């Protein structure tokens, strides 16, 4: 019986010791898990402080640059290097975009940066195509007039072959002009699709209209 009681006592002690070890391990794990959180909190705080320090340093640098620029301007003024410059004492030139109202900023940026709207290049392309066609047509009409004058002074045996050559050349040039006019009208339709304002649309070209323009001397 004493041995049995002693064994039971030892088992109770071992059980209490095991529970103590388990509790100690649990507390240690809780402390280990809590440490990274506290470290991250410290890191966030230090990061915010570093950010404020960086901002303050940037502001101080800007203030120092401004003060240096102002000091340099005062030195130049005191030495007279800012006197006698072109435009001194005269009013500022008129703003070419002053009449645009609320669109002043966009117009000013477009003008000063050299940027152009999409339809600008399309319109210029159409104008250049039209000018080349009119120039070619004017030269061809002049050539026809000279050929007509030449035919009037040719002997009878040469008139028929020369007329045939003239008609062949005229047909070839007219075919080339028709192709060029078709390409011009395709560019005009593209331009008119891009430009939403009907008042800015370009007219479709025709050979008869271009002949009138070529004969009138206009481009």
> Any idea what DSSP says for residue 198?
G
- The whole-number pLDDT of residue 129 equals 96
138 and 56 both lie in a single domain: no
209 and 127 both lie in a single domain: yes
Are 162 and 176 a contacting pair, CB within 8 Å?
no
128 and 209 both lie in a single domain: yes
Per-residue pLDDT of the chain (219 residues; tens, 9 = 90+): 444 444 444 444 444 444 444 445 545 454 444 444 444 444 444 444 444 445 557 888 888 888 898 998 888 888 888 888 888 778 878 888 787 788 788 777 877 887 777 888 999 999 999 999 999 999 999 999 999 988 888 888 888 889 999 999 999 999 999 999 999 999 999 999 999 888 889 999 999 999 999 988 776
Question: Taken in order 123, 125, 128, 131, is the CA torsion positive or negative?
Answer: negative
134 and 72 both lie in a single domain: no
Q: Is residue 84 part of a domain?
A: no
135 and 209 both lie in a single domain: yes
50 and 132 both lie in a single domain: no
- The whole-number pLDDT of residue 53 equals 47
Question: Taken in order 72, 74, 75, 80, is the CA torsion positive or negative?
Answer: positive
Q: How many Å apart are CA 129 and CA 125, to the nearest integer? A: 6
Q: Which residue has the tokens 């940026």?
A: 109
- Domain that includes residue 32, residue range: 16-77
21 and 72 both lie in a single domain: yes
Q: How many Å apart are CA 146 and CA 140, to the nearest integer? A: 10
132 and 189 both lie in a single domain: yes
Q: Is residue 169 part of a domain?
A: yes
124 and 199 both lie in a single domain: yes
- The whole-number pLDDT of residue 132 equals 96
Q: Is residue 98 part of a domain?
A: no
CA distances to 143, 147, 149 from 157, rounded to whole Å, are: 22, 16, 16
Q: Is residue 107 part of a domain?
A: no
Q: How many Å apart are CA 162 and CA 151, to the nearest integer? A: 7
68 and 130 both lie in a single domain: no
- The whole-number pLDDT of residue 25 equals 52
69 and 136 both lie in a single domain: no
Helices (H), 80-155: 104-113, 118-152
Structural domains in the chain (count)? 2
Q: Is residue 1 part of a domain?
A: no
- The whole-number pLDDT of residue 192 equals 95
Q: How many Å apart are CA 131 and CA 137, to the nearest integer? A: 10
128 and 197 both lie in a single domain: yes
- The whole-number pLDDT of residue 55 equals 55
Are 189 and 165 a contacting pair, CB within 8 Å?
no
Q: Is residue 99 part of a domain?
A: no
Q: Is residue 62 part of a domain?
A: yes
- CA atoms in the 13 A half-sphere facing the CB of 1: 0
Q: Of the candidates 191, 209, 211, which has an alpha carbon nearest to the alpha carbon of residue 200?
A: 191
- The whole-number pLDDT of residue 56 equals 59
Q: Is residue 53 part of a domain?
A: yes
């Amino acid at each position: 019986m004493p041995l049995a009681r002693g064994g039971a006592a030892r088992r109770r002690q071992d059980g209490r010791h095991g529970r103590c070890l388990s509790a100690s391990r649990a507390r240690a794990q809780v402390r280990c898990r809590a440490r990274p959180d506290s470290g991250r909190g410290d890191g966030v705080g230090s990061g915010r402080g570093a950010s404020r320090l960086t901002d303050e340093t940037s502001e101080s640098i800007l203030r120092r640059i401004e003060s240096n620029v102002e000091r340099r301007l005062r030195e130049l003024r005191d030495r007279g290097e800012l006197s006698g410059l072109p435009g001194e004492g005269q009013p500022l030139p008129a703003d070419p975009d002053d009449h645009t109202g609320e669109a002043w900023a966009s117009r000013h940026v477009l003008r000063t940066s050299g940027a152009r709207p999409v339809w600008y290049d399309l319109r210029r392309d159409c104008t250049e195509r039209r000018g080349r066609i009119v120039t070619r047509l004017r030269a061809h009409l002049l050539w026809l007039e000279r050929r007509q004058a030449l035919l009037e002074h040719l002997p009878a045996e040469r008139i028929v072959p020369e007329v045939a050559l003239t008609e062949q050349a005229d047909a070839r040039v007219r075919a080339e002009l028709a192709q060029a006019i078709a390409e011009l009208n395709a560019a005009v339709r593209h331009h008119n699709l891009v430009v939403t304002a009907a008042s800015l649309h370009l007219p479709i070209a025709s050979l008869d209209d271009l002949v009138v323009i070529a004969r009138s001397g206009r481009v």
